[in-house]
Amino acid sequence: MSVAVAIELGGSHAAVGLVNAHTLIAVEDISLTPKAQLARVLPNLAICIRRLLAQNNLALNQVSGIGMGIAALVDWKSNRVVGTNGKYSDAPSIDLVGWSKENFGLPLRLENDARMGLLGEWYGGGLRNADSAIMLTFGTGIGCAALVEGKVFRSSQPQGGCLGGHIPVNLNGRTCSCGAVGCMEAEASTWALPHILQGWPCIETSTLFGNTLGGFKELFDAVAEGDLVAEAVRRHCIRVWAAGIIGLIHVYGPSKVLLGGGVMKSPEMVIPDLRAFIHRHAWTPAGPVEIQVASLGPHSALYGTIPLLEGR
């Protein structure tokens, strides 16, 4: 049995798994502190990998390699992090291929986490047999990746194809963590939600007044309870996401848009209105683009390990 180790280093959590072809054999989630440094996370990852292998009676010589997705800009040719955005800021100075060889004697391939999520859905999920697609992952921020003519899109520049969440949608918007103004992520994402709520008209009439956590689950719960401010904020976020996704549809020409991440745990609050807005306003002569929720759940990226190690 050939097994691979799969690692996802997201915005607020990490996951370590063991994958065998299309099966996620085991997975362990690790909570991270805000602004975690990669050098402090790596020893925990190593312990976790050894524990998972032991629990599943696997030796290192039965493992083909390590696939790692990280919420950062990655040079996929050299397997190095080349840009970070408030998370893992020490990552560009760390040789992850060397870390893997030294600790486990295994080859390692590194990718942006959103690209790895798209690879996972292409290999065994909602993008199986797809030729052209985009995938957005709504976590702390908004990850993005594109599939063009059956291949994950990569350019010679590390930002190519994976900064869809940083498409500016509001010229008068707030400054984003990336440095641009009015990005989709700055106007409607989990990290931006408390700022949106704070400045929303009549927020003092809402049950969300004074809410510092501001996650989308709480927002959607308030919508379900009839909170009018929460409903207005939900509609604002739908319009922001629709505007950004229409931009991506016009750039990449996908036949399918896949949406993943924690926000999609409440698809009924997002998909119908988002789909209607996009279908009304996107210019797609071949017919409406399919808008669907990712099928592999929160661990899409882990499933991307096998195709990543195969050089996809």
Sites of contact with Zn ion (CB under 5 A): 166, 176, 178, 180, 183
Give start and end residues of each alpha helix (H) in 30-112.
38-55, 96-104
The minimum distance between CB 178 and Zn ion, in angstroms, equals 3
Q: How far apart, in Å, are the Cα atoms of 124 and each of 11, 148, 174, 258, 266? A: 24, 17, 38, 14, 23
Compute the C-alpha angle 225/141/135, nearest 5°: 95
Q: Is the Cβ of residue 87 or residue 166 nearer to Zn ion in the bound state?
A: 166
The minimum distance between CB 187 and Zn ion, in angstroms, equals 10
The minimum distance between CB 162 and Zn ion, in angstroms, equals 12
Q: Is the Cβ of residue 180 or residue 232 nearer to Zn ion in the bound state?
A: 180
The minimum distance between CB 122 and Zn ion, in angstroms, equals 26
Q: Is the Cβ of residue 179 or residue 285 nearer to Zn ion in the bound state?
A: 179
Q: Is the Cβ of residue 32 or residue 184 nearer to Zn ion in the bound state?
A: 184
Q: Is the Cβ of residue 18 or residue 183 nearer to Zn ion in the bound state?
A: 183
Cα(308)–Cα(76) distance, rounded to whole angstroms? 10
Quickly count: other Cβ atoms within 10 Å of residue 26's Cβ. 17
The minimum distance between CB 284 and Zn ion, in angstroms, equals 26
Query: Which of 239, 291, 243 has the alpha carbon at shortest distance from 264?
Result: 291
Place of tokens 């700022």: 195
Place of tokens 């869809």: 164
